[in-house]
Every structure is written in C-alpha cells, then in structure tokens.
C-alpha cells in the first residue's frame, strides 16, 4: 500500500491518497482512493478525473502515483473554487 499526502493551506487539511500498488509489477495500474475520516482502505472513495468522485476513476502505476495525486488535487481545488 502506497500513500501520498498533500497539505492544503487554503482548506487547512490534509489530503491522503492511498493505492494498493504492486512494486514487483510496475506496469500494472490500480485505482487511487482518498482517505477520509472513518473511511480507509477499500471504504475510501475513489478519485476520478476532473477533480471529483464521479466518472472515470484515476488509476496509477508506481511511477505515476504522486503525479496523479497532485493533478487530481489541483483539479479538485479549481472545481471547489468555481463552486463558491
């Protein structure tokens, strides 16, 4: 299980992404999830392209995991900004 955390100064919270990646098979992609209070592991929601939780789920390899998480976070923040 690989994790990556982004701290949002704007929202004053951490976004912790998890993915059950197989380091022995670096070309096999897995879905990325966002840990939330009380929801971890497979109970955590899958992140989707565009910065949301509905649509096509983001799948990552060990080489793209951190980049995919940062991209989703930026898209999420852009989406949150347009909602307010």
Count of domains forming the chain: 1
Is 90 exceeded by the pLDDT of residue 26?
Answer: no
Neighbours of 11 (CB within 10 A): 11
The Cα-based distances of 55 to 5, 8, 16, 49 in angstroms read: 23, 24, 20, 7
- For residue range 41-57, list pLDDT tens digits in order: 888 999 999 999 999 99
Structural tokens at position 5: 């955390």
Domain that holds residue 65: 2-83
pTM to 2 decimal places: 0.88
């Amino acid at each position: 299980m690989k994790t990556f955390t982004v701290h949002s100064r704007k929202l004053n919270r951490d976004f912790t992404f998890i993915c059950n990646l197989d380091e022995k098979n670096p070309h096999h992609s897995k879905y990325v999830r966002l840990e939330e209070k009380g929801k971890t592991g497979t109970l955590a929601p899958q992140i989707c392209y565009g910065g949301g939780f509905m649509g096509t789920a983001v799948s990552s390899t060990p080489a793209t995991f951190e980049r995919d998480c940062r991209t989703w976070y930026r898209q999420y923040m852009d989406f949150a900004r347009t909602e307010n």
